[in-house]
């Protein structure tokens, strides 16, 4: 019912579109980089641009190897499969993307069981998760093989996970034989907001999927990082899932361009989100990255009224709207959105 908006084909040109940071279109410079990319058949591992992207992302996150995949969902699901066997369990918070928005893929594709804890708005508590872990080797229990962590947290309104909790969870997991998977769809936002190096976030996970097609503005693509052995196995899973791609250096080039030009600028999106929150009377402290959430409003009515005035907002619950700032919305667009949405809210 209330997932990510699926309005269907629509002409939203000219609108200030704050539904998601996935809506960005490649910039002219990114398109040039794509057009000029050197390519080869990546299933044969002969695409130099894909290889360059994989090496670069592996190094950024301090892992041995990486795998370019078409989507964050594929990166997450292969990542989970690499650290869980069928019949084992993934533990995560009840609002995490991998267990909420990925169509039950872990169960449907891989026979993985899942269990959730209700967190405080998505914020990670290592103790809360650790308490729920079920041991290996028991005759009755479903063994917890992995814990999924999301940073930043989407349904948590873009919150940045506290580093001490990530560290505690990872330290604990070493002795427990439980893997940590990071859904890092927006880990670049976390890095820019917190100043924590990407390599630190990377080393606190066994597998991590990071997206190029969210705030970084590439049209497609995610990268899964892990050990060389796991990535070799992940390559087989990607092929089985139909994700073996051919001359996709054109897409990897967009990712490389985004890494060169679109990481530091995420700070602008964060500032725009804070400005929007202030203008809407939302606590700016609740805005840690590029998302502004307004609760206790009739979401469909607000979205419709704003849309009629050229501003698109996301409905992520019957009484919750969400606005996400990104590369395609500049300061003037944010001011316009603030004018429209604040008036819509005042007129309720």
Among 33, 105, 146, 185, binds ligand PLP (CB under 6 A): 185
Nearer to ligand PLP, 151 or 282 (CB): 151
The answer to whether 154 contacts ligand PLP (rule: CB under 6 A) is yes
Q: Which is nearer to ligand PLP, 217 or 340 (CB)?
A: 217
Q: Is 77 in the site for ligand PLP (CB under 6 A)?
A: no
Residue closest to ligand PLP, measured at CB: 72
Q: Where are the alpha helices (DSSP H) in the chain?
A: 28-35, 48-60, 72-83, 97-100, 105-110, 126-132, 163-176, 187-194, 198-203, 228-240, 249-261, 266-280, 299-308, 331-346
**Of 21 and 340, which has the nearer Cβ to ligand PLP?**
21
* Closer of 212 and 344 to ligand PLP (Cβ): 212
Residues that contact ligand PLP, how many (by CB under 6 A) = 13
CB of 36 vs ligand PLP, minimal distance in Å:
25
Of 54 and 150, which CB lies nearer to ligand PLP in the complex structure? 150
Selected from 97, 168, 191, 230, the binder of ligand PLP by CB under 6 A is 97
Cβ-based burial of 71 (10 A; exposed 0-12, middle 13-18, buried ≥19): middle
Site string for ligand PLP, 199-228 (x = CB under 6 A): ------------x-x--------x------
Q: How far is the CB of 154 from ligand PLP (least distance, A)?
A: 4
C-beta separation of 254 from 30 below 8 A: yes
Secondary structure string (H, E, C) spanning 196-238? CCHHHHHHCCCEEEEECCCCCCCCCCEEEEECHHHHHHHHHHH
Fill in the per-residue mask, 107 to 146: x = in contact with ligand PLP (CB under 6 A), - = not in contact. ----------------------------------------
Binder to ligand PLP among 54, 89, 95, 183 (CB under 6 A)? 183
Nearer of residues 220 and 294 to ligand PLP, judged by Cβ:
220
> In sequence order, what are the residues at sequence separation of 6 or more whose Cβ sits closer than 8 angstroms to the Cβ of residue 145?
83, 84, 85, 88, 89, 90, 136, 178, 179
Burial label for 105, CB within 10 Å (0-12, 13-18, 19+), is buried
150 interacts with ligand PLP by CB under 6 A: yes
Residue 150 or 165: the one with the smaller Cβ distance to ligand PLP is 150
Q: Which of 34/185 has CB closer to ligand PLP?
A: 185
- What would the DSSP string read from start to end of 229-296? HHHHHHHHHHHHTT---SSTHHHHHHHHHHHHHSSTTHHHHHHHHHHHHHHHT--GGG-SSSEEEEES
- Region 56-75 residues binding ligand PLP, contact defined as CB under 6 A: 71-73
* Residue (of 189, 228, 190, 192) closest to 207 by Cα position: 228
Cα–Cα distance measured from residue 130 to residue 31, given in angstroms and rounded to the nearest whole number: 45
| Interacting residue ranges for ligand PLP, rule: CB under 6 A | 22, 71-73, 76, 97, 150, 154, 183, 185, 211, 213, 222
């Amino acid at each position: 019912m209330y997932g990510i908006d699926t309005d269907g084909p629509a002409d939203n040109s000219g609108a200030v579109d704050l539904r998601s940071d996935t809506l960005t279109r490649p910039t002219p410079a990114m398109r040039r980089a794509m057009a000029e990319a050197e390519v080869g058949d990546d299933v044969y591992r002969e695409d130099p641009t894909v290889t360059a992207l994989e090496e670069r992302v592996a190094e950024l996150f301090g892992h041995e190897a990486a795998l370019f995949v078409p989507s964050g969902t594929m990166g997450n699901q292969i990542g989970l499969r690499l650290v869980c066997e069928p019949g084992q369990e993934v533990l995560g918070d009840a609002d995490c993307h991998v267990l909420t928005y990925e169509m039950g893929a872990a169960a449907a594709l891989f026979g993985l069981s899942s269990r959730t804890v209700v967190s405080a708005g998505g914020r990670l508590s290592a103790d809360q998760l650790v308490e729920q872990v079920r041991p290996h080797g028991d005759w009755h229990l479903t063994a917890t093989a992995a814990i999924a962590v999301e940073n930043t947290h989407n349904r948590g309104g873009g919150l940045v996970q506290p580093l001490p909790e990530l560290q505690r969870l990872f330290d604990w997991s070493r002795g427990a034989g439980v893997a940590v998977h990071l859904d890092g769809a927006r880990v670049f936002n976390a890095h820019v907001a917190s100043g924590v190096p990407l390599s630190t976030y990377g080393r606190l996970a066994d597998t991590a999927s990071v997206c190029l097609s969210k705030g970084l503005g590439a049209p497609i693509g995610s990268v899964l990082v892990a050990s060389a052995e796991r990535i070799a196995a992940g390559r087989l899973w990607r092929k089985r899932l139909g994700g073996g791609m051919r001359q996709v250096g054109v897409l990897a080039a967009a990712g490389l361009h985004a890494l060169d030009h679109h990481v530091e600028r995420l700070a602008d999106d964060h500032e725009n989100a804070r400005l929007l929150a202030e203008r809407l009377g939302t606590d700016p402290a609740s805005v840690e990255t590029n998302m502004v959430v307004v609760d206790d409003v009739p979401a469909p009515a607000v979205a419709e009224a704003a849309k009629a005035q050229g501003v698109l907002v996301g409905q992520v619950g019957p009484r919750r709207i969400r606005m996400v700032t990104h590369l395609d919305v500049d300061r003037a667009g944010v001011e316009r959105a603030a004018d429209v949405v604040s008036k819509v809210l005042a007129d309720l």
